[in-house]
Structure 1
């Protein structure tokens, strides 16, 4: 499973993804959008690549980056399922609590 939290946990990486949402970009275009060094941007790109959130293609001497929509869609569905399971567990706990009537004892 992709570690979306790692990939999206940094504001620079989120900004890169917002840029790529507009369409594919070269590494140079991405670097020029920030006030940090090219090696620092490359580290952020590598994390996004490692988590398969983006893909990289070579076009001559240029590296072109794009969003990997399939990975994001899968991660989105996995996150929804995880959150749904957490909420289901909480609802079961609440149901059990109410059925036992324990809240009435606290009122007295």
Structure 2
């Protein structure tokens, strides 16, 4: 869960997640939405992968990134469970 919080703590990584909620994108397509170097985008994508928030698949010479909604759902369940315990 620590990797998840670390990944979500950065506004650029949250923006990448927002982009991916609309569909799969290549690293280059993601980079078009940012004013930063491609190695920086790769770093952010790697942290998101470590947190299991995104998955990647090599297609030809491109790497396609997808949002892993299961991890987000698990995090929401964790928070809802915490809230329900406080209500009791």
TM over 0.5: yes
TM-score, structure 2 as length reference? 0.89
Larger relative contact order, structure 1 or 2 (CA cutoff 8 Å, min sep 6): 2
- CA RMSD after TM alignment: 1.6
> 1:22 — aligned with what?
22
After superposition, residues 13-92 of structure 1 pair within 5 angstroms as 13-85=13-85, 87-88=86-87
Compute the displacement of 1:42 (Å): 0.7
Offset at 1:4? 2.5
Structure-1 separation of matches of 2:2 and 2:23: 22
How many angstroms does 1:81 deviate by?
1.5
Shift of 1:2: 6.1
The Cα offsets for residues 66-98 of structure 1, whole Å up to 9 and x where unpaired, read as 00011111121012213433x24xx7xxxxxxx
- TM-score calculated relative to the size of structure 1: 0.74
More helix by share: 1
Query: Would you say how many aligned residue pairs link Structure 1 and Structure 2?
Result: 88
Against the structure 1 CA distance between its residues 26 and 72, is the aligned structure 2 distance closer, same or farther, given a 3 Å change threshold? Answer: same
